[in-house]
Structure 1
Amino acid sequence: MKHSGEKLVAEILAKKKGGKDRKLLWKKLRNMGDFHYNIKRITEKKGHLIVERRPTTEKDSNEFLPCPHCLGFFVRSELWRHAKECPFRCQNNEEEKPLVYSAQILLYSNLHENSDLQENIEEILTGMKSDGVLKAIQSDNSLMSFGSAMLKRVGRGRLPNVRQKLRQLGRLLVSLRCLSTEAAVFTDFIKPKEFDRVVDAVKKISSNPSEITEKGCQKYSLPSLALKLGHSLKRLAEVIRGRAIRDGDDERRKDVENFILLHDTEWADKISSHARQTIAERKYNEPDILPLTCDIVKLKDFLLHEIVRLSELLLKDINAVNWRNLAMVVLCRITIFNKRRGGETSQMKLSAYVNRKTGEWKDAENLEIISTLSPIEKKLMDRLQLVEIVGKKNRKVPVLLTKDMWNALDLLNSKRNAIGVPLQNPFLFAAPSSKSGHLKCWDSLKWITNRVDLKNPELITTTNMRKYIATVSQIVDLDSKNELEWLANHMGHTLSVHRKYYRLQEQTLELAKVSKLLIAADCGMVHRYAGKTLDDITLEEIQLDKSEEEDCDEQDCSSSEECQERTPPKIKDSKQKQKEQKQSEKDTEYVCSNAKKCTRRPWKEEDKQALRTSFHQHFTLCCPPSKSDVMLQGRKSDRVRKLIEERGWTAVKYYVWNLVQQHKKRGQNMTNAKEQKN
């Protein structure tokens, strides 16, 4: 064989002829050659690609991505289907979601020419802080390739995110160099034998060795950093593997693939699980503090007043400072009113606002829907305008504008040229004198809340405002799934995310609503509220404790002329005892209610015998049973449990006490009779 002397070919020839392993290795070798060929064709932008499955229709080369496992090229929409059955895929790797992301990183890291790489890196590093982390990034070519590939994938609109990822990896590289040599780079650590050292470095910069979680695991001071580094390290390893494939470095490629295998199998046990446990424990007993309603109302009044004042000031004196101040106030007003994420409203495009729907809703296709609306809803349609913008995960999310908002926005747009906003700036809330910058909602909100006399200004954030509207919406009866889904769609997330992360269980609702159910269950009265809602349970029907329970029974029974008192033993006169004795001998129970009429329900003989057997200790001690005693016997005896369900535990308690008194009286009579006889 011509290439039998090659190391990789020799390894394949050493396998059993016709065996499965040998066929798979030949396939991967062919895919590596095809990968080099396809990269060359895409770079030169001519020729045809060698793909694993030829599509039925002709497609552009941009529609194809390489499989991160076998390097074969597939149509982007079919890549997930192949990855499920790819023979080179690690069996323990169940991470399906970032498959396309991994394929793009692998492809882009091999497509960059040196000039393009240098241009992208200069753009990324220009805005970074000049320190030791920046020097570490500049000294590592693999980090710069990672940053360039990531920027090409996510676009320049997310340049700050790319810088953040690079600085996190730069901090890790600085920590690794403390454990190794000063000149080390990431290609020296993306190896199986260095995996444990990488784990130690991640722990060093994100955890405190002296602290442990409640379950005995290591506690992280920066758990989110540890989780992010785990994702970034795998992406970086894929970039290094792509360069190794392009350079024909089989030894380095194998080292990187084995490192990725270790990452998939051991990273969760050593880092991720502990970091997630730390995040979960931080939420225990942490109060869900939301903005105060009075602060929100006061802030709204302040914003309305400032919009009027700054609009008049801008008309009198047109300058960048007045324009910027008015833009910041309007930005906050829109964000707080719509409960939007700050980044969504601050990045609203000027074209989206200009092409907005201006209340002309009553066209022919909407007449059927509009006819079902109430008069106030139709009035709101005339008074509000709608702008559709891009939200999280490229969702289309709405922004509602009131008259004060769009009047201020029209004024701002009319003065853009006068204050020198570049024509190239596409943002509605553009940063003056910037071609691509925009105002930040967080900065604007912080600037405004510091100027208003609020009780808790630190709680006025966009995230807290979203949680506030999701929580207080529980007060409104959104019984229809569609109504709750409308609110979730307006906020730009799914219904499950709305319930899990945004709609908090306020302490007030916990105490007022859920506590009624718990008290009813504690009293053994849940069966009385079958088919009812929590609002149907009233405190008047629930016995809160023994003393209140006895007092209530006294008052209820005494209010009816036909009912006799049923109270625990007290010091009574002879007439009272005789009256009680006569009543107990009737062996009946009077069921009392707030109504004047009472119902008489006789006790059966088998019920009496069951009560005497179950409560024999109380007969011996001559004491009344408590609620816990009654409920305990109800769990032990089916007959007692049935009596509790039919009559209530209080009726059982007092009838047992009546039987105890009868037993005691009979014993006293027998004793007296013996004494008289003697």
Structure 2
Amino acid sequence: MIPRKLPKKNLDGERFMHCIYCQGLFLKKTLWRHLKICKFKRSDVKPKPGRTRVQTLCGFAQPPPPGVTHGVWKLLNAMNQDEVALAARNDWSILELGKHLYNKCGSRIKMHEYIRQKMRELGRLLICARKVSPLTSIKELTNPENFLHTVDAVKETAGYNEKTGLYENPSIAVKLGQSLNKIAMLIESQSIISGDKATAKAANSFQQLYQSRWSEYISASARRTLEEAKWNKPTLLPFTEDVKLLHLYLDEQEKIYYKLLSAQPLSHHWSKLAKVTLTQVMLFNRRREGEVSQMPLSAYTSSIQSDAHPDISMALSELENKLCQYFKRIEIRGKRGRKVPVLVTPSMQESINLLIKNRNRCGVPNENSFLFARPFAMTYYRGSDCIREFARECNIEKPETLTTTKLRKQIGTLSEVLNLSNTELDLLADFLGHDIRVHRQFYRLPEGTLQLAKMSKIFLALEKGRLADFKGKSLDEINIDPEEKVTVDSDLEDTQLKECTQVSAPHTAFEDCNDSLLQADRGLKNKASAPQTASEHCDDSLVPADKGLKKKGEVKRTPWNQQEVHAVEKHLMKFIKNRNVPRKTDCVRCIEAEPQALKNREWSALKFYIKNRISALQRKDLAHKFS
């Protein structure tokens, strides 16, 4: 290979690329600089900013390998041209999976990123396999004789820790197993077509191994890591006040950029108004960000606001008939191919119409089919990025809670408060784009709230012996005070309590007895030679009964001293500020960093200390919110 400019030292040939115009060979990292001054470049070609885009443009000029379609080759060249892309480009099995996915869903532009992601995952697996095993291709990884090597390569890719039994990226381990099984199916079908029975039999054997042993080696521990990571995490839902502030801020920004775009149709003004309108549509409809972000232009232009049927209008109220005329309804593709509606207000319609009118003036290509498209690109604005940007700008209290997922859960939670009927819940679930079973399992009140608010009533009634008092009542009708005292029925103990009251004047019977019980429990009872008073006699007689109660309800707690609190806050204060409960590894790391101060504390004590601090702050925030 003869480059245009000789490098100072020997370099790998994969670090060079040909210019699309003059076919000269240049280093990839300096190719963008040459493309600016290339004499063979046509005058009508507009330069694209960015170094990676230049590499992608020049990659298209290279002919695809035999058997690789132009669409798959285009996906490969659109990747970041690094070691992973090189491994994916040169492996037959990865290319076959890319062809399979492209034939299946390549007509949808939004799925191209998914196909690239799957191919890059296998590229990273191949790189790790070459480091930890003698295998050099994905096809060798699907050979049943190399099954244990495949397991080691997947563990290395997912960051498996032998000591803790945890994965750094557990989802990668699950996804790689599914991709390898799919590649084995492709190899088997291809071998059957070509008449290679031995290869087909080997691929089928790998699929059987995957079904029987993959869970044992990989997926069981990976899924367990994923599930345990969700435990003890606080469920943060958006505050109504924060959502209201964001709505008001977006309305102000919409008016500003609508005027600017009307006066000066510039790409910057177009981008800002597109982001604001996209966020408004997502926020108003509580739609998934991917559904609204990828809304095609044709879905909006082809929607017709038709009048309601006269028979249906008679069944609606006057207000409902006005709302039908106020909103415009658009039908788009939702999750799993469902048809989901989007409601657009008149102000949103005005902004969208202005965006459509100025698409060509602001640099949006005609080939870009998305409604909220990026100028000078074939992609669209991501809704998650837009809502995160505006949540930070409007200075709300908790911007991290304003995500489309949490907003959808908020409306599901409020639907429980409204006590909607089954028909109304079906209508809400259908509008949100999921099944009623999904709504009941994931979108209703958080599981912890239900257990605290509902099930605790049953166990309180059992503890206080009052379960028979609530016979025939529902959980909502049960009303019991958690601070209610349990009465003692024994006549002997009633007499002893009266004696305690008479002797210890300023204290109540319960306070005097509790003090003596605490002394008996800690082994601090005074054994002086003085004669016992009536109250002391009462304490001694009640100690055996208290021991039985202590085993059931009381927990010995050691107060936190100043040195321990300082040690914990030094290393775990960030969890308190972010309202996140630390994991076991974080607590253990804190104890190892402060062995002298925390020598008497277990890792679970640190975790519950942080959890209690977070709960106190949340109660304080809630009290401040309603004050």
TM-score (normalised: structure 1): 0.61
* Secondary structure of 1:386 counterpart: strand
* Secondary structure of 2:476 counterpart: helix
Aligned amino acid, residue 186 of structure 1: I
- The structure whose Rg is larger is 1
Aligned amino acid, residue 114 of structure 2: N
User: Is 2:468 the partner of 1:527?
Assistant: yes
Cα distance in 2 for residues equivalent to 1:318 and 1:397: 32
**Following superposition of structure 1 onto structure 2, how do residues 412-423 of structure 1 map, counting pairs within 5 Å?**
412-423=355-366
Cα distance in 2 for residues equivalent to 1:571 and 1:188: 86
Aligned amino acid, residue 433 of structure 1: F
Aligned counterpart for 1:373 among listed residues 307, 310, 316: 316
Aligned amino acid, residue 493 of structure 1: H
Please say if residues 457 and 478 of structure 2, whose CA atoms lie closer than 8 Å, have aligned partners that are also in contact: yes
Say what the alpha-carbon RMSD is for the aligned residues.
3.1
CA displacement at 1:522 relative to structure 2: 2.4
Query: For each residue in 1:57-115, what CA deviation from the matched residue of structure 2 results, as whole angstroms up to 9, or x when unmatched?
Result: xxxxxxxxxxxxxxxxxxxxxxxxxxxxxxxxxxxxxxxxxxxxxxxxxxxxxxxx976
Cα distance in 1 for residues equivalent to 2:363 and 2:327: 30
CA displacement at 1:430 relative to structure 2: 2.0
Aligned counterpart for 1:457 among listed residues 399, 402, 409: 399
Task: Identify the residue that residue 122 of structure 1 maps to in structure 2.
Answer: 73
User: Is 2:66 the partner of 1:138?
Assistant: no
Aligned amino acid, residue 121 of structure 2: Q
Aligned counterpart for 1:155 among listed residues 106, 109, 113: 106
Task: Identify the residue that residue 446 of structure 2 maps to in structure 1.
Answer: 505
* Secondary structure of 1:161 counterpart: helix
Task: Identify the residue that residue 397 of structure 1 maps to in structure 2.
Answer: 340
* Secondary structure of 2:416 counterpart: coil
Quickly say closer, same or farther: Cα 1:162–1:568, change in 2 above 3 A.
Answer: farther
* Secondary structure of 1:475 counterpart: helix
CA displacement at 1:512 relative to structure 2: 4.2
* Secondary structure of 1:398 counterpart: strand
**Which stretches in structure 2 are left out of the alignment for 5+ residues?**
1-63, 503-537, 553-627
Quickly say closer, same or farther: Cα 1:302–1:142, change in 2 above 3 A.
Answer: same
Aligned counterpart for 2:303 among listed residues 336, 339, 356: 356
Quickly say closer, same or farther: Cα 1:293–1:136, change in 2 above 3 A.
Answer: same
CA displacement at 1:270 relative to structure 2: 1.4
Cα distance in 2 for residues equivalent to 1:268 and 1:236: 18
Cα distance in 2 for residues equivalent to 1:124 and 1:543: 62
Cα distance in 2 for residues equivalent to 1:518 and 1:378: 49
CA displacement at 1:155 relative to structure 2: 1.7
Quickly say closer, same or farther: Cα 1:166–1:573, change in 2 above 3 A.
Answer: closer
Task: Identify the residue that residue 118 of structure 2 maps to in structure 1.
Answer: 165
* Secondary structure of 2:384 counterpart: helix
Aligned counterpart for 2:131 among listed residues 178, 182, 191: 178
* Secondary structure of 1:474 counterpart: helix
**Following superposition of structure 1 onto structure 2, how do residues 195-234 of structure 1 map, counting pairs within 5 Å?**
195-212=147-164, 218-234=165-181
Please say if residues 416 and 445 of structure 2, whose CA atoms lie closer than 8 Å, have aligned partners that are also in contact: no
**Which stretches in structure 1 are left out of the alignment for 5+ residues?**
1-112, 213-217, 554-565, 575-617, 633-678
Please say if residues 288 and 504 of structure 1, whose CA atoms lie closer than 8 Å, have aligned partners that are also in contact: no
CA displacement at 1:287 relative to structure 2: 1.0
Task: Identify the residue that residue 410 of structure 2 maps to in structure 1.
Answer: 468
Cα distance in 2 for residues equivalent to 1:465 and 1:573: 57
Cα distance in 2 for residues equivalent to 1:294 and 1:488: 24
* Secondary structure of 2:331 counterpart: strand
Cα distance in 1 for residues equivalent to 2:77 and 2:391: 32
User: Is 2:256 the partner of 1:309?
Assistant: yes
Quickly say closer, same or farther: Cα 1:377–1:145, change in 2 above 3 A.
Answer: same
Quickly say closer, same or farther: Cα 1:257–1:572, change in 2 above 3 A.
Answer: closer
User: Is 2:281 the partner of 1:329?
Assistant: no
CA displacement at 1:379 relative to structure 2: 3.0
Please say if residues 133 and 153 of structure 2, whose CA atoms lie closer than 8 Å, have aligned partners that are also in contact: no
Cα distance in 2 for residues equivalent to 1:226 and 1:243: 26
Quickly say closer, same or farther: Cα 1:508–1:261, change in 2 above 3 A.
Answer: closer
Quickly say closer, same or farther: Cα 1:357–1:375, change in 2 above 3 A.
Answer: same
* Secondary structure of 1:527 counterpart: helix
* Secondary structure of 1:417 counterpart: coil
* Secondary structure of 1:416 counterpart: coil
Aligned amino acid, residue 457 of structure 2: K
Cα distance in 2 for residues equivalent to 1:246 and 1:438: 41
* Secondary structure of 1:419 counterpart: coil
Aligned amino acid, residue 417 of structure 2: I
Cα distance in 2 for residues equivalent to 1:546 and 1:416: 72
Please say if residues 288 and 506 of structure 1, whose CA atoms lie closer than 8 Å, have aligned partners that are also in contact: no
* Secondary structure of 2:131 counterpart: helix
Cα distance in 2 for residues equivalent to 1:568 and 1:469: 56
Query: For each residue in 1:285-336, what CA deviation from the matched residue of structure 2 results, as whole angstroms up to 9, or x when unmatched?
Result: 1111122322211111101111111111111111111011101100011001
CA displacement at 1:386 relative to structure 2: 1.0
TM-score (normalised: structure 2): 0.65
* Secondary structure of 2:360 counterpart: helix
Please say if residues 334 and 401 of structure 1, whose CA atoms lie closer than 8 Å, have aligned partners that are also in contact: yes
User: Is 2:221 the partner of 1:274?
Assistant: yes
CA displacement at 1:350 relative to structure 2: 1.8
Please say if residues 132 and 152 of structure 2, whose CA atoms lie closer than 8 Å, have aligned partners that are also in contact: no
* Secondary structure of 1:291 counterpart: coil
Quickly say closer, same or farther: Cα 1:192–1:458, change in 2 above 3 A.
Answer: same
CA displacement at 1:179 relative to structure 2: 2.6
